[in-house]
Amino acid sequence: MNVTPETLDWVRKAESDLAAARWLTDSDQPLPDQVGFFCEQAAEKYLKAFLIACGQAPPRTHDIDALVELCALADPACAQLQPLVEGLSEFAVIFRYPDAWSDEDAAFRSLDQAEQVRVFMRQKLGLSVEDT
């Protein structure tokens, strides 16, 4: 595992997305689609940071399940993320268009999912799990 400046750039972006999601959930109008979008983005960036630290170029995809599979090839322990991220990819595309809407339950679930990916990946990268 090689935590390079590029890896840390992806981690910082992930933290920023997660901070936006947290801020939205604390607001008077949580905007579930946007919360989920930022949560998906945070999880995606953490998974890509891990792939970079493993010496792999991350694919240009928003498919969280596919990213978890790639991470599991590098470290089989990552396979345990698969059930935790179920449905998270939907926020990257489906809920960005007017024919589909999320709800607050799904948004808060996506925040929990992103938080779990965050803790898991920060531990794998040897980074503190305390809020940054």
Task: State residue 101's pLDDT score.
Answer: 79
- Tell me, yes or no, whether 89 lies in a domain: yes
Structurally, how many domains does the chain consist of?
A: 1
Q: pLDDT of the chain along its 132 residues, tens only?
A: 899 999 999 999 999 999 999 999 998 887 899 999 999 999 999 999 999 999 999 999 999 999 999 999 999 999 999 999 999 998 888 777 788 778 889 999 999 999 999 999 999 999 999 865
- Tell me, yes or no, whether 63 lies in a domain: yes
Q: How far, in Å, CA of 11 to CA of 6, rounded?
A: 9
The CATH number given to whatever domain includes residue 118 is 1.20.120.330
Range of the domain at 40: 5-124
- Tell me, yes or no, whether 50 lies in a domain: yes
- Tell me, yes or no, whether 129 lies in a domain: no
- pTM to 2 decimal places: 0.93
- Tell me, yes or no, whether 132 lies in a domain: no
For 96, other C-beta atoms within 10 Å of its C-beta total 13
- Tell me, yes or no, whether 16 lies in a domain: yes
Task: State residue 104's pLDDT score.
Answer: 85
Cβ atoms of 91 and 37 within 8 Å: the answer is yes
Cβ atoms of 43 and 35 within 8 Å: the answer is no
